[in-house]
Structure 1
Amino acid sequence: MTIYFPEVKETVIYEGPKSKNPLAFRWYDKDKMVLGKTMEEHLRFAVAYWHTFKSEGGDPFGNATMSQAWKTYGDPMDNAFATCDAAFEFFTKLSVPFYCFHDRDLAPEGDTFSQSCSNLEKLVAHAGKLQKQTGVKLLWGTANLFSHPRYAHGAGTNPDFHVFAYGAAQVKQAIAATQELGGQNYVFWGGREGYETLLNTRLKQEQDQMAAFFHMCVEYAQEIGFTGQFLIEPKPKEPTKHQYDFDTAAVLNFLRAYDLLDHFKLNIEANHATLAGHSFEHELATAASAGRLGSVDVNRGDSLLGWDTDQFPTDLYSTTFAMLEILAAGGIGSGGLNFDAKVRRSSHETVDLFHGHIGGMDTFARGLAIAAAIIEDGVLAGFREKRYSSWNEPAAAAVLAKGSSLAACEEFVLANGEPTMKSGRQEYLENVINTFI
C-alpha cells in the first residue's frame, strides 16, 4: 500500500498547550466536554477534498508548485483512485470525522455524460469501502456546475435549456452519489448563477429557472428517500459580477419568494461573508435568526486582497464570535465545520496540509472554549437583557404581539415625554471579550 504522507507516522493527537510538536493539537481535545458535548460533537470538522487534494498551487500568474504523488499516473482514473486513497490516509491521520467533495473532485469528467456517470459510480464504490474501513463519514456532497466551459453562463440560470438540463442531470447523479455514501447534507453553490450585464439578461426568468431547478431537486430527493439536509452557500461576486446568492439575506429572500424555505438551510462561508461586506458572525446570526443555519465553511480572507483567498482560520476573535453565534443557535445539527481552505502557493510540501488543518482546528477549539466561558459567565446575556428590558413593558409587548398602533405609540410619548439616551457600551463589551481571550 502506497504511503502518501510519510511525515506523519501515526494519528495526530492532543498534547496540550505546552507541546512544541508542530504535528500535534494544543487545544483541540476531541473528547473534552464543553457545555454538555465533546469538542468533536460541537465542531464536526471536515476536510475539503478539492483544496486539499486537487489544488496544485497555481494562480493566474504562475504554474503549479505542489508535488502530489497521487497525481503521477498517466490515466485520469488511476489518479482519481490514488487521490481517494491519499485523502483517506490524510483524514485518518488528522483524526477528522468528515469530508466533503464535488463530484468532479472525486471522479474525472468523461468524454460523454454517461462516461462521467460511470467514472463517478466507480469512485463512489471505492470511497464507500474506505469509509467503512476508516469510519470517516461524508458531511456533504455537491456537483461542480462552474468549471466546465458549458457552464460559462451558469447552470440553473443558463439561457440555453440544453445546458440547464445537463446541469440538472449532473445534480441528479451527485445527489444519488451523496446518498450512496451516507452524506448527511447536500450543498448547492451558485458558482456562475448570476449575470455580468442586464443587456443580455432576463433577470426574473433566470430566478424562476433557479427556483424550478431547486424544486426538482427537492422532488428527486423525496423520490429516492434522501433524508440529508439541502444547503445553499451564499457568495457575492467572483466569478459572476451579480450573483443571485450574494449573501444570506438575499438567499433567504429567494427561498421565501419561491416557497423553498422549509427545504433548505444555509452553508455559511467566512470568506464569502467578508466579500459581501459583512462579518462572518453577521452571516451566521442572520441565518440562525431565520432558523436556517445548516453548516459552515471555515476559512478566512485577506483584508488587503479583494478576492476569495481561502486561507486557514487563525484569528481567535473571529472563531470566538463565530462560536458564540453557533452555540446561541443550538449548534449546527447535521452540518459541520468544513475547512474550505488551502495552503499558500509557497507552502508546497504535503506536510503543510497538516500544519494548515491542525492550526485551524486548534483555533476553532480555542474559540469554542472561550465562547463557552463567556456564555457560562452570563455577562453578554445579562447586558442584552438589561438593554432590551423596556420591551417587557405592556405598551412595548403589545407592539411585538401586533396588538398596538401608531396612535397608541403617540399616546405613550405624550404621557412619558422625551426618552433618555442610554449607552450601548461597545467599548466596555469589547474589553470584556478581551478578558476571556
Structure 2
Amino acid sequence: MEKETEYFAGIAKIPYLPDGGARDVMCFKHYNAEEVLMGRKMEDWLRFSVCYWHSFCGTGTDPFGFPTHHRPWNQGSPMEAAKKRLHAAFEFFSKLGVKYYTFHDRDMAPEGLTLEETNWNLDEMTDLALQLQNQTGVKVLWVTCNLFAHPRYMNGAATNPDCHVLAYAGAQVKKGLDIAKKLGAENFVFWGGREGFHSIHNTHVAAELRHMAVFFKMAVKYKEKIGLKCQFLIEPKPKEPCKHQYDYDAMSVIGFLKHYDLDSHFKLNIEPNHTTLAGHSYEHDVVMASAFGMLGSVDSNTGAPDLGWDTDQFPMDIRNTTLVMKTIIEQGGLQPGGLNFDAKVRRESPDLEDLFIAHIAAMDAFSRGLRNAVRIIEEGTMSSMVMERYSSFRHGIGQKVEDGSASLEEMEDFVKQHGEPKVTSGKQEKYEAIFNHYI
C-alpha cells in the first residue's frame, strides 16, 4: 500500500471557528488548543486521545446485526489491512488535531498461530507506528493488552482457574510492556474484561483475587526491570461480560490495591459509562478516585441509562463534562493521563465524516465543560459555601476531629456542655441553582 493513500479525502484539518453556525459541524466552536486557562493551554488540560479499537477496528456490528461500517482500510490480508488501518488512523489524528491515541495489542496487529508469530506481527506493526509517530508528533497515551476476546480467556486471564492460561496472559503482558516502552507510552492500562465470575458455585474468590494481585506484582517488577517510565492504570467495570467483575467500581479497585499493597504502583482509568453501570452518577468514580489521589486518566464516553448496558457513546452532556473537568482542575490536571474517547459512532452512522463529527462534538463538549469549571473555581462562590458548611472543623473540638486527636470522652464532654446541636439546612437546591448558572 502506498503511503500517499488518502482515506479521508476532501476533509482538511479541522479549524477553530467560534462563530460557526448550528449546521457547521466540521469545525471546533469551543476547543481552542492554544488558549490559556488558569495558566495552562486548553490542549494540556484536556489531553484528548482517540481510541484505536472503536474508531478504526469497529464495524458497527451488535448482538443483533451484521456490519454496517465497511471501511476502506479493512481490506486485504490481516497484515495488509492492519497497515492500511494504521495509515488511516494517523491521517485521522493529524486532521483532527489530537496529540494522543490508545490501542490494545490485538487492535494494532493480528494474532498469529503461535505466540512467536503474534509477537512478530506486533513488532512489524509497531515499527510502522513508531515511524508514523515520529512523522506526525502524535504520541501514545496508553497501551493495553486484550486479555478477554480470545477463547483461551473465556474463564478469565489473571483470575483463570488454569495457570497455563494465566501464564499466557503474563507472556502477552510482557510483550505489551515491551511495546509500551518502544512507543513511549505514557500509561499502561489493565482492564479485567473477564476477571470475575458468573457463578459463585464454581469460583474460589479468595484464590482468584490473590492470583490477580500476584499478576499485577509481576507486571510491576517487569516494568522496573526494563526501565519503563509510565503510569499503571486499572479500569473499573461492574459487569459485562461477567455477572460480577472484581474491579466493580473505583472504591472496589482502591480497596483491592490497598489490601495487596499495590496502591503506590497504580492509579485508576475511569470510564463514566462503567460508573453508571455500577449504579452511580456519571461523575461519581472520577470524584471518588480523585479524593484518594488515585485518578490517573478518564475514558471519556457516556451510556444510555434506559438501556442498561455499555453503549460507549460520545459524551455530549455539558453538565457531565463540567463536573469531570472541575474535578480534574482541582487535582491539578490529569497528566500523564488524559481524556481518551473510548466511544464509537452509532451503528446507524456509517459515513466516514461521522467519525470526525462525533469527535469534534465531544471535544467541544469537554471544552465547554473546562470553561465552565474554570469560571466556577475562579469565582469561588460554590467553594466558599462548601468551606462555610464545614467551618465547625476549623476550631475547637472540630479541629481535634480534623487532625485525628479527638476522643469519644471529649465528644461526650462537648455535648454535655453545649447540648443538642442546631440542625442547619444543606441548601441542596441553592447549590444546584448556582451550578446551573455556570452551564
TMscore range, shorter length: over 0.9
1:139 lines up with 2:141 in the alignment = yes
Q: Distance in 2 between matches of 1:401 and 1:358?
A: 47
CA contact (8 A) 1:7 1:351 kept: no
Partner of 2:120: 118
Partner of 2:65: 62
Partner of 1:299: 301
Q: Which runs of 4+ in 1 moved over 6 A?
A: none
1:331 lines up with 2:323 in the alignment = no
Partner of 2:380: 378
TM-score, normalised to structure 2's length? 0.98
SS in structure 1 of the partner of residue 73 of structure 2:
helix
Partner of 1:24: 27
Q: Distance in 2 between matches of 1:401 and 1:356?
A: 48
CA contact (8 A) 1:17 1:27 kept: no
SS in structure 2 of the partner of residue 46 of structure 1:
strand
1:43 lines up with 2:46 in the alignment = yes
SS in structure 1 of the partner of residue 102 of structure 2:
strand
Partner of 1:263: 265
Alpha-carbon shift at residue 18 of structure 1 (Å): 3.3
CA contact (8 A) 1:269 1:280 kept: no
Q: Pairwise mapping of residues 343-362 of structure 1 onto structure 2 (< 5 A)?
A: 343-362=345-364
CA contact (8 A) 1:288 1:329 kept: yes
Q: Distance in 2 between matches of 1:238 and 1:360?
A: 25
1:193 lines up with 2:195 in the alignment = yes
CA contact (8 A) 1:141 1:178 kept: yes
Stretches of structure 2 lacking an aligned partner (at least 5 in a row): none
C-alpha offsets along residues 104-130 of structure 1, whole Å, 9 cap, x if unaligned?
000000011110000000000000000
Q: Distance in 2 between matches of 1:279 and 1:97?
A: 30
SS in structure 2 of the partner of residue 283 of structure 1:
helix
Q: Distance in 2 between matches of 1:402 and 1:24?
A: 53
SS in structure 2 of the partner of residue 167 of structure 1:
helix
SS in structure 1 of the partner of residue 276 of structure 2:
helix
Q: Distance in 2 between matches of 1:422 and 1:331?
A: 34
Partner of 1:208: 210
Greater shift, 95-104 or 286-295, is seen at 286-295
Letter in 2 for 1:59: D
Alpha-carbon shift at residue 272 of structure 1 (Å): 0.6
Alpha-carbon shift at residue 301 of structure 1 (Å): 0.4
Q: Distance in 2 between matches of 1:242 and 1:436?
A: 38
SS in structure 2 of the partner of residue 331 of structure 1:
coil
Partner of 2:89: 87
Q: Distance in 2 between matches of 1:401 and 1:428?
A: 30
Partner of 2:395: 393
Alpha-carbon shift at residue 369 of structure 1 (Å): 0.2
SS in structure 1 of the partner of residue 30 of structure 2:
coil
Instruction: Name which of 79, 100, 106 aligns with 1:77.
Output: 79
Partner of 1:272: 274
Q: Distance in 2 between matches of 1:277 and 1:409?
A: 36
SS in structure 1 of the partner of residue 193 of structure 2:
coil
Greater shift, 424-433 or 47-56, is seen at 424-433
Q: Distance in 2 between matches of 1:242 and 1:25?
A: 40
Aligned positions, number:
435
Q: Distance in 2 between matches of 1:310 and 1:183?
A: 24
Q: Distance in 1 between matches of 2:378 and 2:291?
A: 21
Greater shift, 277-286 or 412-421, is seen at 277-286
Q: Pairwise mapping of residues 309-328 of structure 1 onto structure 2 (< 5 A)?
A: 309-328=311-330
Letter in 2 for 1:393: H
Partner of 1:405: 407
CA contact (8 A) 2:275 2:281 kept: yes
C-alpha offsets along residues 226-272 of structure 1, whole Å, 9 cap, x if unaligned?
01000000011101111000000000000001010000000001101
Alpha-carbon shift at residue 2 of structure 1 (Å): 1.1
1:107 lines up with 2:109 in the alignment = yes
C-alpha offsets along residues 143-162 of structure 1, whole Å, 9 cap, x if unaligned?
00000000000000000010
SS in structure 1 of the partner of residue 283 of structure 2:
helix
Letter in 1 for 2:198: E
RMSD: 0.8
CA contact (8 A) 1:103 1:141 kept: yes
Q: Distance in 1 between matches of 2:202 and 2:324?
A: 40
Alpha-carbon shift at residue 401 of structure 1 (Å): 2.1
Alpha-carbon shift at residue 72 of structure 1 (Å): 1.6
Letter in 2 for 1:425: K
Partner of 2:172: 170
Letter in 2 for 1:153: N
Instruction: Name which of 430, 434, 437 aligns with 1:435.
Output: 437
Alpha-carbon shift at residue 402 of structure 1 (Å): 2.2
Q: Percent identity?
A: 50
C-alpha offsets along residues 77-124 of structure 1, whole Å, 9 cap, x if unaligned?
000000000000000000001000000000000011110000000000
Q: Distance in 2 between matches of 1:371 and 1:286?
A: 18
Partner of 1:367: 369
Alpha-carbon shift at residue 17 of structure 1 (Å): 4.1
C-alpha offsets along residues 33-73 of structure 1, whole Å, 9 cap, x if unaligned?
11110110000000000000011001011000012000121
Partner of 2:160: 158
Q: Distance in 2 between matches of 1:302 and 1:212?
A: 36
